[in-house]
């Protein structure tokens, strides 16, 4: 241990004042702070409405560091927290340093590599900070080359308490998120409308919009100027517009010899856009500039609700759509050739600790057992999970489905089945997937679960491209290029979540 008898005496006095704190290690919150949970929770972003505390990660005090911290075979640093002598890895504590020599003050980027921290680094001294109440100053032996003996790492007691309690320090990225709300025409209110002027000028309105996109995945902006630049302006209030081979923004109207079914007047079934990209855009925007034709209503369906219903009625079919890989492609030789392989139902990693589960049912059962174990051993609560909590995205794009082929996993299975040819294996894959996909399609197209809206000029819809699948009813094309004109744009997932976090920190829970 690093603490000498004199140091321990000083630390006991330190514990009696600076480190004294209420028993509650972490304040409760009405929504789950998903980013704060340790690895066992990293696969979950959805929050619970119940008040929750992070799982307690008790570190046993032992004279044998090899038993106390199995992954750190070196000496540990001991810091008293709320009456308990808590051991930390010196490497871990050194990596938390935020001093100007370690983190650039304006860019907030690290000025060292974690890999450069010597494995034999030691805490030479641990003492109450000279910079303020409730902090600890740590000086090092065997520090990173280039740092002299005066280099001091200052860490707040609250940060250490948070690390000890939940295994995760507090960062600006840790914000509670509203829970996904499954919707249907019979059980949910229509998505709200927001005025363009308020949306463009008031961050509180933008915050309401991004929260609505999180909970229900669908929102409308009204009073939008009928100019081509409007859709980009709306999207940029959330994040940068994603440029694709369609352009930064693009028109949806009938054209002769269309290269995309959207550019015809035909009926369009439910689909996710750009599935032939490895990472399809998160948000899609469609601004109605002109609509003088008959028909052409926009229709939306909550694909998460359809996935839940499939899980509850036929888990085998659900497992087929989560485990079977299919390829989506965009094939225009001489111009664009895109392809990406993925399952129809994309779940978050079904992982608890280092164990990964093959089915959602097995994962949810293990998760509930884990919850009960944590509650009984540590008197703390981690969130319960639902099927919707585990859904990441829905990859459903019938117009762009490529011919079926065997994926690597299926090929490996085939090699061990001498009686089955590759052709037979492919036929079996097709039959099994087709049956499951047909059931999912029927659930997706149920009339009672749809939201239909004949968009008028001056309206713009924003929707989660990976959840709120969209379709369009056929319309009378009239004069080609004139009867119905929408302008579209995309925004990616990362800018969306960045905007959510920024506005959450700025506005709180308004």
CB contact at 8 A, 53 and 167: no
Residue that wins the pLDDT comparison between 10 and 132: 132
CA distances from 196 to 18, 200, 459, 498 (A): 51, 6, 9, 22
Among the residue ranges 47-56, 291-300, 320-329, 471-480, the one predicted with the least confidence is 47-56
Residue 388, helix vs strand vs coil: helix
Residue 263, helix vs strand vs coil: helix
CB contact at 8 A, 474 and 266: yes
Among the residue ranges 47-51, 384-388, 441-445, 490-494, the one predicted with the least confidence is 47-51
What's the rounded mean pLDDT across residues 182-193? 75
pLDDT tens digits for 101-155? 999 999 999 999 999 999 999 999 999 888 777 899 999 999 999 999 999 999 9
Domain 178-344+395-510: give its CATH architecture. 4-Layer Sandwich (3.60)
pLDDT band at 84 (very low <50, low <70, confident <90, very high): confident
What's the rounded mean pLDDT across residues 258-272? 63
Among the residue ranges 192-201, 274-283, 324-333, 380-389, the one predicted with the least confidence is 380-389
Q: What is the pTM of this model?
A: 0.77
Structure confidence at residue 484 (pLDDT): 72
Q: Where is 212: in which H helix or E strand?
A: helix 203-215
φ, ψ (nearest 5 deg) of residue 202: -115, 115
pLDDT reading at 50 higher than 60: no
Each domain of the chain, given as residue ranges in start order, spans 5-166, 178-344+395-510
* Euclidean distance between the first and the last CA atom of the chain, given in angstroms as a whole number: 48
Q: Sort 483 into a burial class: Cβ within 10 Å, 0-12 / 13-18 / 19+.
A: buried
Residue that wins the pLDDT comparison between 274 and 64: 274
Structure confidence at residue 138 (pLDDT): 95
With tokens 């690390």, the residue in question is 163
The DSSP-derived string for 120-169 is T-EEEEEEE-SS-TTEEEEEEES--TT--TT-EEEEEHHHHHHHHHHSS-
pLDDT band at 57 (very low <50, low <70, confident <90, very high): very low
The Cα 227–Cα 190 span in angstroms is 27
Residue that wins the pLDDT comparison between 476 and 271: 271
CB contact at 8 A, 14 and 32: no
pLDDT tens digits for 197-214? 999 999 999 999 999 999
Residue 65, helix vs strand vs coil: helix
pLDDT tens digits for 218-241? 999 999 999 999 999 999 999 999
Strand runs labelled E in 364-425: 391-394
Structure confidence at residue 419 (pLDDT): 52
Structure confidence at residue 275 (pLDDT): 97
What's the rounded mean pLDDT across residues 79-83? 86
pLDDT band at 20 (very low <50, low <70, confident <90, very high): very low
Among the residue ranges 2-11, 126-135, 243-252, 425-434, the one predicted with the least confidence is 2-11
Residue 353 structure tokens: 């600790």
Contacts of 262 (CB under 8 A, 6+ apart): 252, 268, 472
Contacts of 335 (CB under 8 A, 6+ apart): 245
pLDDT reading at 72 higher than 90: no
What's the rounded mean pLDDT across residues 240-258? 81
Percent of the chain with pLDDT over 90: 55
With tokens 């601004």, the residue in question is 287
Residue 93 structure tokens: 């504590």
Structure confidence at residue 100 (pLDDT): 96
Structure confidence at residue 266 (pLDDT): 52
SS (H, E, C) 466-508: CCEEEEECCECCCCCCCCEEEEEEEECHHHHHHHHHHHHHHHC
- CATH assignment of 5-166, given 3.40.720.10, 3.20.190.10, 3.90.79.10, 3.30.2020.30? 3.30.2020.30
Residue 400 structure tokens: 């762009």
Pairing of strands 218-222, 193-195: parallel
């Amino acid at each position: 241990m690093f603490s000498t008898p004199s140091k321990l005496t000083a630390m006991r006095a330190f514990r009696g004042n600076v480190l004294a704190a209420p028993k509650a290690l972490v304040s409760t919150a009405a929504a789950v702070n998903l980013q704060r949970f340790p690895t066992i929770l990293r696969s979950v972003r959805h929050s619970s409405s119940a008040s929750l505390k992070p799982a307690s990660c008790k570190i046993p005090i032992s004279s044998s560091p090899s038993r106390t911290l199995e992954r750190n075979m070196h000496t540990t640093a001991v810091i008293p927290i709320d009456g308990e002598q808590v051991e930390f890895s010196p490497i871990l504590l050194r990596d938390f340093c935020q001093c100007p020599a370690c983190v650039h003050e304006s860019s907030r980027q690290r000025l060292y590599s974690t890999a450069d921290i010597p494995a034999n680094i030691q805490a030479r001294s641990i003492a109450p900070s000279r910079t303020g109440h409730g902090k600890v100053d740590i000086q090092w032996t065997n520090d990173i080359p280039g740092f002299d003996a005066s280099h001091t790492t200052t860490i707040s007691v609250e940060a250490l308490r948070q690390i000890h309690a939940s295994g995760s320090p507090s960062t600006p990225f840790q914000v509670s998120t509203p829970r996904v709300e499954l919707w249907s025409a019979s059980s949910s209110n229509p998505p709200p409308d927001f005025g363009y002027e308020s949306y463009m000028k008031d961050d509180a309105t933008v915050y309401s919009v991004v929260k609505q996109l999180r909970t229900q995945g669908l929102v409308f902006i009204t009073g939008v100027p009928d100019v081509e630049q409007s859709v980009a302006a709306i999207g940029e209030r959330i994040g940068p517009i994603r440029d694709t081979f369609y352009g930064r923004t693009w028109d949806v109207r009938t054209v002769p010899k269309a290269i995309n079914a959207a550019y015809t007047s035909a009926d369009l079934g439910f689909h996710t856009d750009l599935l032939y990209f490895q990472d399809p855009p998160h948000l899609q925007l469609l601004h109605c500039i002109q609509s003088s034709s008959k028909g052409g209503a926009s229709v939306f369906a909550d694909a998460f609700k359809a996935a839940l219903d499939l899980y509850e009625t036929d888990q085998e079919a659900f497992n087929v759509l989560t485990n079977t890989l299919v390829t989506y492609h965009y094939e225009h030789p001489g111009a664009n050739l895109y392809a990406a392989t993925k399952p129809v139902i994309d779940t978050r990693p079904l992982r608890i600790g280092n164990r990964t589960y093959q089915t959602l049912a097995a994962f949810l059962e293990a998760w509930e057992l884990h919850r009960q174990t944590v509650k009984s051993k540590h008197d703390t609560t981690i969130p319960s999970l639902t099927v919707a909590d585990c859904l990441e995205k829905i990859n459903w794009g019938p117009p762009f489905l490529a011919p079926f082929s065997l994926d690597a996993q299926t090929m490996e299975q085939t090699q061990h089945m001498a009686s089955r040819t590759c052709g037979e294996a492919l036929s079996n894959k097709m039959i099994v997937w087709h049956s499951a996909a047909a059931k999912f399609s029927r659930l997706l197209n149920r009339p009672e679960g749809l939201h239909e809206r004949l968009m008028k000029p001056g309206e713009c819809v924003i929707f989660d491209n990976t959840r709120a699948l969209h379709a369009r009813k056929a319309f009378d094309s009239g004069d080609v290029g004139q009867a119905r004109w929408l302008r579209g744009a995309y925004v990616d997932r990362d800018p969306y979540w960045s905007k959510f976090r920024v506005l959450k920190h700025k506005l709180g829970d308004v």
